[in-house]
Amino acid sequence: MVAAAPCDHRSAKEAIFDASAGASAGAIAATFVCPLDVIKTRLQVHGLPEMQPSGRKGSVIIVSLQNIVRTEGLRGLYRGLTPTLTALLPNWAVYFTVYGHLKELLHTYEGSNNSDQLSISSNMVAAAGAGAATSIATNPLWVVKTRLQTQGMRQGVVPYKNIFSALSRIAREEGFRGWYSGLLPSLAGISHVAIQFPAYERMKFSLAKRGNKSDNELNPGELAIASSSSKVVASLLTYPHEVIRSRLQEQGQVRDSQPKYSGVVDCIKKVFRQEGIAGFYRGCGTNLLRTTPSAVITFTSYEMIHRFLLQLSPPKEKQHPKPHPKPDSGANSPKGSTSSGKEDDSDQSVNPSKERTIIPLDNTDHKLTARH
């Protein structure tokens, strides 16, 4: 039985690189797709905009953009960008860091190297654990983002001035529970990353195998294929929870009014009764137009930035204890001799005396090579 190779332990530098690359990639993607994010959130909460009689099918996004620019100006298209960035920076920083650490632990559990491919179930466990950590840590910021994006559509609502104003008002008017409105469906959203990340890792592995290279050598085009495909699949399977989450997060903004939904189950029942299955996929088209390029930008940027950081400051080479070489026919060598390299696979005999046997440097049968 061959012993498993020792698992490489991630250094603090590698964890910092994960966090830096994840935060930078998330910020780039969020800024690029913010207008579509605003439209998606409003479609989830308030439904379709009023269409002109001559409006063509499929022009919902255009009409929404026109309505926002006309009533709120260009700034309306970037409503909630600051809390989005504020949430995404720790979100992706924490996510990729926790995800990397959990993968390392699972590699250790499976007795494999970090460079080996984890099983699908192990990837799902790592993705779900990282998703739970980030959801709990950043939920208050997502509540603020949702309300800032939708407050322009509500009449008689005292608008929030900024992130800190919103956080303090929510805590004062709704209590601590207000910060964690929609947390349960957010945690249900862990199923999204539990599908997306294993699919992404599997597609990277397949593309690398087809190109006869490692997944660290994939080009941006191949990374875009892997990230976009995995995102579309995960979004279609898990989108309904986003609608429920957005409606629960938004409803507390109106003062002195009874909440429309008493909880997750009540919200699901009312959406289904009033809007049918289509209600659970309100804004899904816009969401795919937003999340697909966002995923491509996020994952491709992460991989490229992470590689750049590793090239800029490579982590120290990890030293592993080398196994003692097996003797040939029980022959002993002089003490004090040392060798480097790999011994021939045919040398598998056991030394009955259990004494260390050192292979001479001039033994050419073992194809020893010296590192300079």
pLDDT digits (tens, 9 = 90+) for 253-292: 555 466 788 888 898 999 999 989 988 888 888 778 878 8
| pLDDT given at position 28 | 87
Here the CATH number for the domain that contains residue 57 is 1.50.40.10
One domain for residues 193 and 224: yes
Percent of residues in the chain assigned helix, strand, coil, to nearest 5: 65, 0, 35
Amino acid identity for residue 61 in this structure: I
Closest CA to 248 of 189, 184, 191: 184
One domain for residues 135 and 156: yes
Mean pLDDT of the region 158-164: 80
CA distance 182 to 350: 63
Mean pLDDT of the region 169-189: 84
pLDDT band at residue 238, thresholds of 50, 70 and 90?
confident
| pLDDT given at position 228 | 93
Whether the CB-CB separation of 40 and 283 falls below 8 Å is answered with yes
Query: Does residue 39 lie in a domain region?
Result: yes
One domain for residues 93 and 240: yes
One domain for residues 229 and 120: yes
Query: Does residue 317 lie in a domain region?
Result: no
Query: Does residue 3 lie in a domain region?
Result: no
**b/e string for 221-236 if b means 16 or more Cβ within 10 A?**
ebbbebbbbbbbebbe
CA distance 264 to 245: 8
Query: Does residue 164 lie in a domain region?
Result: yes
Number of structural domains in the chain: 2
- Which structure tokens are listed for 151? 């407050």
Mean pLDDT of the region 248-256: 65
Q: Show which of 312, 330, 358 is a domain's final residue.
A: 312
- Which structure tokens are listed for 341? 């390299």
Tens-digit pLDDT profile for residues 194-228: 899 899 999 999 999 998 988 888 999 999 999 99
Least confident interval from 8-12, 73-77, 176-180, 330-334: 330-334
One domain for residues 348 and 292: no
One domain for residues 176 and 229: yes
Whether the CB-CB separation of 117 and 108 falls below 8 Å is answered with no
Q: Show which of 312, 331, 360 is a domain's final residue.
A: 312
> Residue 220, Cβ neighbours under 10 Å: how many?
12
For 25, counting Cβ atoms within 10 Å of its Cβ (0-12 exposed, 13-18 middle, 19+ buried), the class is: buried
Query: Does residue 16 lie in a domain region?
Result: yes
Query: Does residue 64 lie in a domain region?
Result: yes
Helices 190-210 and 120-150 sit at what angle, rounded to 10 degrees? 130
- Mean pLDDT across the chain, nearest whole number? 76
Q: If you ran DSSP here, which 8-state letter would residue 4 be given?
A: P
One domain for residues 113 and 259: yes
The domain of 179 spans 12-312
For 195, counting Cβ atoms within 10 Å of its Cβ (0-12 exposed, 13-18 middle, 19+ buried), the class is: buried
State the residue for tokens 């992130």: 163
Whether the CB-CB separation of 108 and 38 falls below 8 Å is answered with no
One domain for residues 98 and 68: yes
| pLDDT given at position 229 | 93
One domain for residues 272 and 329: no
One domain for residues 136 and 255: yes
Query: Does residue 106 lie in a domain region?
Result: yes
pLDDT band at residue 364, thresholds of 50, 70 and 90?
very low
CA distance 91 to 312: 25
Between residues 349 and 154, which one has the greater pLDDT? 154
One domain for residues 328 and 305: no
CA 240 to each of CA 214, 282, 357: distance values in angstroms, whole numbers, following the listed order:
36, 8, 65
Whether the CB-CB separation of 40 and 77 falls below 8 Å is answered with no
One domain for residues 212 and 300: yes
Q: Show which of 312, 331, 357 is a domain's final residue.
A: 312
Query: Does residue 83 lie in a domain region?
Result: yes
